Amino acid sequence: MLHGVLRENLETFLARARERDRPVPRFVELELRAYLECGLLCHGFIRVRCSECGHDRLVAFSCKGRGFCPSCGGRRMAGTAAHLVDRVLPEAPVRQWVLSLPFALRYRLAYDRELTSAVLGVFVRAVFESLRRRARPHARARVRRVQCGAITFVQRFGGALNLNVHFHSLVIDGVYLASPERGTLRFVPLPPPDDEEVERVATRTARGIARLLERRGLIDADPAETDPLAHQAPLLAEIASASVQGRAATGERAGRRVRRLGDRVEPDVLERSSAPLCAQVAGLSLHAGVCVPARDRARLERLCRYVARPPIATDRLSRLADGNVCYRLRRAWRDGTTHVVLEPLELIERLVALIPAPRANQIRYHGVLAPCAGYRAAVVPAPPMAQPPNRTAGTRPRSSTPGTPYAVQGLNEAPGSPALTAISANAPPTAGGASALSVEAAAPDISHPASAPLGAAPLVGPRRDRGRPSWADLMRRVFAIDVLECPACGGRMRVIAAIEDPRMIRAILECLGLPARAPPTAKARPIKRPGLPFPDDV
């Protein structure tokens, strides 16, 4: 349905932007057009064949979009979660710290990479300072350094597809005490913070952000002078500002709030709700109520999937009789809103605001988990050992990573998962498989699994030392589906070719009786101006 809405209205959206002399930035247009080619066999595919019965299957290429594509976002969610659990996060308790920002700051951070990094640095330093302060009773004279670790996901979306830049930080709920004399790195778990500690972290973060904005001259400054986005991409600035406020940016409903459905409640009768381990200071909202125990790797992977989830759940998107789009909220708002209604062009505006700028990293690593941290090799789980298939009996397998001078005490390293050699990580799902990965956004309550149990189906094949699991591994790991199993005889399928030549693509699809052309994209519709008839009425 999302593909159809974009196919019918994309050219109209681009034409109206050009007519207003506010063209869409190139990286945004490329992302939108690439989504229209995602999962279509006519734009290229790989061919897999069963070695037993010769059954063939075609798997279409994906767009690998970073913005809103449900299929690519779902694959990235599963791959990122598996990589973090197997290769990055140690067997230690992990607490999620969620920081929501004021509306004005959300707009500033949407396309300012440097300011985003600076604000995130203030927040992470406040959390690490809280950990170090609570770890002082455990530190002794022989301990020289207290190390912390965290991974932050910069999320750009809210529950109603609005632009809402906020941070989800997975922080190791403890500290590492390094003793250079003994060459050891000891992990010390810490008790959970109380409400006062969370409020202290929120206060410290608010003060640090205020000082940062003051140093940069962004407080009480003229927005026309301090907003480079308004000069470089005025349409993007207009759409981002409207999306943050929950309003329409262009068209007949420009400036008006998004339409809502549900049993609405007057704001005057709403009471301020307070939850444990939550704090609100100077427009900032901080929550630290979700924690995963040290050895619950399945629950940790579900939490990683939640923070890395795509912005759109396609099963909650529907088309109304008047042509508008209705998006069902996963959880009703405090005022009783359950659905938001968007016109097709309003939906495209929301999608445009969700596309991050080029070279803007959405995942950040801090402390001992940073790529160049000195203690990282002693903390993260070791990669799987490469085992040749015909290894001589009695010989020891050689580790793929050199030994480190620090030994972790009281911490068991979780081995990485083995991987198959069939479908590479670049192999996307078919159009049918793509919808399966459009997982509904999970709630912060991770007691309910977002997918099949971890390890529901065993992996087959020798262990290999690779950075990320293949697509076949992810499908089997998340959904307990073996995409390399032949549907005809149950044998194993393997990749035999990658077809990219347009003439060969057309010949194969026509031979198989499959569509050789992409669905047509609707032309731009004319704009009806006051006092002027439509061309069809002339």
Q: pLDDT (tens digit, 9 = 90+) per residue, 418-476?
A: 222 222 333 333 333 333 222 223 333 333 333 333 333 333 333 444 556 777 777 77
Please check whether residue 12 is in contact with residue 349, taking contact to mean a CB–CB distance below 8 angstroms: no
- What phi-psi label fits residue 490: left (phi over 0), alpha (psi between -120 and 50 degrees) or beta? left
Reading across the β-sheet that carries 145-147, which strands appear in turn?
145-147, 174-179, 184-189, 407-409
Q: What is the dihedral of CA 253, 259, 265, 271, to 10 degrees?
A: -80
| Residue 309 lies inside a defined structural domain of this protein | yes
**What residue ranges in 353-481 does DSSP mark as E strands?**
363-367, 407-409
Residue 523 lies in a domain: no
Give domain status of residue 394, yes or no: no
The pLDDT, as a whole number, for residue 442 is 30
Averaged confidence pLDDT in the chain: 81
**Which residues, in sequence order, are bridge partners of residue 485?**
492
Global confidence as pTM = 0.81
At 511 the pLDDT is 92
Maximum average pLDDT range among 346-355, 419-428, 526-535: 346-355
Q: What is the pLDDT of residues 135-149, one digit of tens each?
A: 988 766 445 578 999
d(C-alpha 88, C-alpha 79), whole Å: 13
User: Helix H segments across 218-290?
Assistant: 223-226, 228-232, 234-245
Report which secondary-structure segment, H or E, holds 482.
none
Report pLDDT digits (tens) over 482-500: 878 888 888 888 889 999 9
Token code pair at residue 69: 């594509």
Measure the CA–CA gap between 496 and 197, rounded to whole angstroms: 58
Based on the structure, what is the number of domains in the chain?
1
Contact status, residue 118 vs residue 127, Cβ threshold 8 Å: no
Average pLDDT over residues 215-226: 80
Write out pLDDT tens, residues 260-297: 998 766 655 555 557 899 999 999 999 999 999 999 99
Q: How many CB atoms lie within 10 A of CB 456?
A: 13
Other residues' Cβ atoms within 10 Å of the Cβ of residue 375: 21
CA distances from 390 to 325, 387, 394 (A): 58, 8, 12
Does residue 326 fall inside a structural domain?
A: yes
**In this predicted model, which residue has the larger pLDDT, 274 or 86?**
86
Does any domain span residue 229?
A: yes
Q: What is the mean pLDDT of residues 124-143?
A: 83
Q: Is residue 391 part of a domain?
A: no
| Band of pLDDT at residue 387, cut at 50, 70 and 90 | very low
Residues 168 and 151 sit within 8 Å (Cβ to Cβ): no
Query: Between these two residues, 217 and 384, which has the higher pLDDT value?
Result: 217
Q: What was the pLDDT predicted at 265?
A: 66
Question: Measured between alpha carbons, how far is 322 from 198 in angstroms, rounded to an integer?
Answer: 47
For residue 397, tell me if it sits in a domain: no
- Tell me which residue range forms the domain holding 64: 2-262+276-385+402-512
Residue 448, pLDDT score: 30
Residue 522 included in any domain: no
Report the pLDDT averaged over residues 364-368. Answer: 96
pLDDT confidence of residue 397:
35
